Structure 1
Amino acid sequence: MSQSLSKMYVHIIFHTKHNQSLIRPEIENELYAYIGGIIKKNGSIPIKINGTENHIHILTTMSKNIALAKFVEEIKRNSSRWIKTKGEAYHQFAWQGGYAGYSVSQSVVERVKKYIENQKEHHKTQTFQEEYIQFLKEYNVDFDENYLWTEYIAPSGHNNQLA
């Protein structure tokens, strides 16, 4: 085969550092559009981006030329830099250290898209923490709840925040 072809759908979830309510309504649409631009710049196609005041969900196709960890790092690093330019209220803005990423079958892309579209309504009855743990369990991801919401000190002495 002379060329590499792929179409991978990925559902990415991450939250603000310490789950702070920092994604304010006056900037969220602009933030999501900016993140869409970062995704495109990395050779991928954003399908749906939405969230609440403390976390976001991204449904995207992912380029075959970038690893998921690097892709999420690019999104978080660049969007964090951008949001800090939006005023004094955002100067301390930061994303958490980790993320969740799930493969999505083409047969359920529309269902995932609708789920992401309805985040604000959904979170009237379920907290982000409950939702996050539900996804981890649905995808059979091993996790230690002791490290989901707090900082973890890696053995090398570097601070890493999990989840």
Structure 2
Amino acid sequence: MSTHTQLIYHIVYGTYKRQPTMLLENKRRLYAYMNGFLKNKNCHLYRINGIEDHLHILTHIHPTIALANLIKDIKLASIDFIKEEGIFPDFDGWQDGYGSFTVSHRDKDQLINYIKNQEEHHKKENFHDEYKRLIEEHGIEFDPKYLL
């Protein structure tokens, strides 16, 4: 018997101290790099987008990949890429933590549209409120002092 999985994750994390350092005009280069990184890990990227202080990744993760290791590796690799390419001059790295939420295949298209429209969405809701809402919607207990 073969192995069949549908492990879709919505991953969210911000820049260090949530500083608005990801220049919108260069974000496509970062996203293309991250797409290649995920392909090399046998993952399938459905959508990536964000604004100056955070990003959202919607991806299928290969069953041999541990989520925490994937996020650590993509953060480290993307920091190197950003610094080598000089695309975000004031970028100091990523925040230590992250949010990761499992996604049903039937909810995938709706979430793709949500991620696609981040710029519009964040005219109405800031990252802190969005992140808190995502955690609450997924029934995750948290200490608010760690959301700052």
Q: TM-score, normalising length from structure 2?
A: 0.95
**Equivalences for 1:3-152 in 2 at 5 Å?**
3-87=2-86, 90=89, 92-149=91-148
Shift in Å, 1:86: 2.6
Shift in Å, 1:5: 2.0
Unaligned runs of 5+ in 1: 150-163
Shift in Å, 1:3: 3.1
Percentage of identical aligned residues:
35
Deviates more, 1:127-136 or 1:67-76: 67-76
Aligned partners of 1:88, 1:58: CA distance in 2, in Å? 19
CA contact (8 A) 1:23 1:53 kept: yes
Aligned partners of 2:130, 2:103: CA distance in 1, in Å? 17
CA contact (8 A) 1:38 1:75 kept: yes
CA contact (8 A) 2:23 2:88 kept: no
1:143–1:31 Cα change, 3 Å: same
The structure having more radius of gyration, on CA atoms, is: 1
1:88–1:100 Cα change, 3 Å: closer
Q: Kindly indicate whether structure 1 or structure 2 has the higher relative contact order, using CA contacts under 8 Å at least 6 residues apart.
A: 2
Aligned partners of 1:118, 1:18: CA distance in 2, in Å? 23
Aligned partners of 2:85, 2:51: CA distance in 1, in Å? 18
Aligned partners of 2:87, 2:45: CA distance in 1, in Å? 29
Instruction: Please give the root-mean-square deviation of Cα atoms over the aligned residues, in Å.
Output: 1.4
Q: TM-score, normalising length from structure 1?
A: 0.86
SS of residue paired to 1:65: coil
